Copies of this chain bind each other. A is one copy, B any other.
Amino acid sequence: MTDKIYVIGHKSPDTDSVTSAITYANLKNALGMKEAVPAAAGDINAETKFLLDHFKVPYPEKLTDATDKKVILVDHNEMAQAVDNLNMENIVEIVDHHKIGGLATGKPIFFLNEPVGATGGIIANLYEMNNVPISKEMAGLMMSAILSDTVLFKSPTCTPRDKTAVEKLAKIAGVDPMSFGMELLKAKSDVSSKSAKDILLGDFKKFDFSGTKSGVGQIEVMDLKDLEPKRAAILEEMNKMKDAEGLDMIVLMLTDVMKEASDILFVGNAQAAAGFEKAFGGKIQNNSIYKEKVLSRKKQVVPPLEGAFKK
């Protein structure tokens, strides 16, 4: 039997990562690459479960060790965010919408990165370009990926193309995008049953900012007050993880999707604190800096951190 090719998103998989794995594997199957199977590089979150259950799509296989495995990367292109023990030579393709992250391969591969709100919209476009019909289920997944990643079009990462794609996909999926999107957001932002650790790791990525080893997480809620009772425990969890993994800092965006603002928590050493304050033009107070209109890690948090730590 031919070896499987795992279509897989980043660690701490979010909805765009998981649905991109499922929908792109489905497209590759339709195009003749029968060995493509979707996978998730960790446990899938409450939002994604709600979504897959709604459209009756099976959960993808969990793959946390890519030793000797061929993979197609979706929704990430940095080794630091990829499944463990991945050999760069085993990367077959990449489809993503993030910054270009320094990955190198020995051979030419298909690599498509577009500055749009979600990988889901890029994949929807690839279905169209290849004249592969989109099923109700796949349309629902790709539409939801865009709604989730752009926080219902509110994120500055959102482009006109994302809106057009959601419009098209919603028709095929047979749902009202905005009301379905609100259901997704509610599933995502229900923190009542989540532990501090779950909140920290729910959407967490590692970065290396010119030598400053960092973790940057994000949690989106309908109201920041929901997180108040857990704030101390979250900070404790951040400190614990920083020490255990030998990081210089951990940043966690507590994002209020209704107020469109983020309370950006910080733990780290003095040098990292200076960089963090420089990045956001403020002083850390009560372990955080509060920023109006900051919703996007990719566009509004990672680039200023990168700039602040540049040597």
C-alpha gap A111/B99 in the complex (Å): 10
The verdict on A236 contacting chain B, using a C-beta distance below 8 Å, is no
Q: Are B306 and A108 in contact (CB under 8 A)?
A: no
The verdict on A298 contacting chain B, using a C-beta distance below 8 Å, is yes
B residues within 8 A CB of A109? 99-100, 113, 115
B residues within 8 A CB of A105? 99-100
C-alpha gap A296/B308 in the complex (Å): 42
The verdict on A97 contacting chain B, using a C-beta distance below 8 Å, is yes
B residues within 8 A CB of A157? 108
Q: Are B102 and A107 in contact (CB under 8 A)?
A: no
Q: Are A303 and B129 in contact (CB under 8 A)?
A: no
Q: Are B113 and A110 in contact (CB under 8 A)?
A: yes
CB contact between A108 and one of B102, B108, B113, B129 (< 8 Å): that residue: B113
Q: Are A115 and B107 in contact (CB under 8 A)?
A: yes
The verdict on A232 contacting chain B, using a C-beta distance below 8 Å, is no
C-alpha gap A280/B303 in the complex (Å): 43
Q: Can you list the 3 inter-chain pairs with the closest CB atoms, starting with the nearest?
A: A102-B104, A108-B115, A111-B113
Query: What residues make up the interface of A, taking CB atoms closer than 8 Å to B?
Result: 94, 97-115, 129, 157, 298-299, 302-303, 306-307
A-B contacts, 16 listed (Cβ < 8 Å)? A94-B100, A97-B108, A99-B108, A99-B109, A101-B104, A106-B302, A106-B303, A106-B306, A106-B307, A107-B115, A108-B114, A108-B115, A108-B299, A109-B115, A110-B115, A111-B113
